[in-house]
Amino acid sequence: MRRSLVRPALALVAFVAALASGGAPPAARACCPAPPRGFEVRIADQEILVVWDPATKTEHFVRRAVFSGGGEAPAAGFGFLVPTPTRPEVAASNGGAFGLLREETRPWVVQKTRWRVSVMPLLAYPFLLTMMGSRASPTPTASIDRGVDVLEQTHVAGYDVAVLAASDPKALTDWLGANGYDARPALQEWARPYIEKRWIITAFKYAARMGEVGTDAVRMSFSTETPLFPYRVPTDNIAPPGQGNLLRAFVVAPGRATGTLGEGPGRPWTQGQVKRARPLPAAELARLVGQAIPPEAVKSLGDGAWLTAFEDPTWPSGTDDLTFTLDPKGEEHQEVIYHYDDATVPLPLDLILGLGFLGLYLRRRVKGAPKA
């Protein structure tokens, strides 16, 4: 008799343990690298700031990037190219603005308790509680060569800068090759649509060492009818799926920004996830980006400029450039991350069954009692 009761009792405990373990509800590259031959440079993480003033149709484009290198470090350093629709003013910028912007747009973290009911025998509860432990969710200038005009040469924030107007992709790559940059076929193909549209190509050269290189922030200010980011990269720089780096893009303009890839109607920039979107008072605007752009630009925007923050974990992956449309009546957005702590309310099955049987027994006793 005693042995016959052991096996069903163990089966009951195992069944209840399975309920307890499974009963919880479900938890609801702004540039083109152009290194010298024999030295591989790829774009790593990058932060960009786009500030667009509709009164002057001027964009202030600030970027700070990290590059990873391979091969022997060349004495001439490495270079990268940035296309813009008009000739830019190139100046040093204060990268400290990115720290302020990251802090301003970080997610809100909300801690919540998630309750569940655990059905188990009262006698087994202390043992199962010990086995289960805690179950919290994880916390989460002069003409040179045929087809290339050097409009300006300067030195900014550790870079040698050349602002180029080119009328032929091959002439551009020939100039780059003669001046210590790469001139691979992918670079020539990358430059072709910009040259056809008569965009300006600005070449930056940085003295690199082996490993990762963190550069100073640089501002490029230029005229444009629409705020934009040269998101497109050469085909040999596109990151394989699942192996991209992080691109943080902060857009300050009179309205909530939405990214579109390509010309004309384009297509939505689904890689760019909105982390924060809200209008800024003038004082807050000055605090966040005043050190990165000219003072007159901050004053011109005044009250009502929006800050929209994006994160793109697929960078570099662009085959088209990125433009931003603006909605002054857009919906504000704040990313919220919920952290859950699981809490269990024990429901002792044996006690409930016992009380049920006791209730039935008492009911029968009452019914069977002789009437007075």
Q: State how far the alpha carbon of 68 is from the alpha carbons of 119, 230, 330, in Å.
A: 55, 20, 38
DSSP secondary structure of 149-197: EEEEEEEETTEEEEEEEES-HHHHHHHHHHTTS---HHHHHHHHHHHHT
Looking at residue 97, what DSSP letter applies? H
Looking at residue 317, what DSSP letter applies? -
Q: pLDDT for 183-210, tens place per residue?
A: 788 888 999 999 999 999 999 887 554 3
Over range 354-364, report the average pLDDT: 73
Identify the sign of the CA torsion 295, 301, 303, 305.
negative
Q: Which helix (H) or strand (E) holds 322?
A: strand 322-327
Tell me the two tokens of residue 170: 């091959």
pLDDT at 115: 62
Over pLDDT 90: what percentage of the chain? 43
The topology under which CATH files domain 32-107+139-338 is Baculovirus p35 (2.60.250)
Over range 78-97, report the average pLDDT: 90
Over range 207-225, report the average pLDDT: 71
Domain residue spans of the chain? 32-107+139-338
Q: For Cα atoms 336, 342, 346, give the angle at the middle one, nearest 5 degrees.
A: 150
Over range 350-363, report the average pLDDT: 72
Q: pLDDT for 126-172, tens place per residue?
A: 555 555 444 444 433 333 446 899 999 998 887 889 999 999 999 99
Looking at residue 320, what DSSP letter applies? S
Q: Give the integer Cα–Cα distance in Å for 19 and 154.
A: 71
Q: Which range has the top average pLDDT, 40-54, 235-249, 316-330, 339-353?
A: 316-330
Q: State how far the alpha carbon of 133 is from the alpha carbons of 21, 127, 136, 344, 345, in Å.
A: 11, 10, 10, 11, 14
Lookup result for tokens 């974990």: 313
pLDDT at 362: 73
pLDDT at 78: 61
CA-atom Rg of the chain in angstroms: 32
- pLDDT above 80: residue 215: no
pLDDT at 157: 80
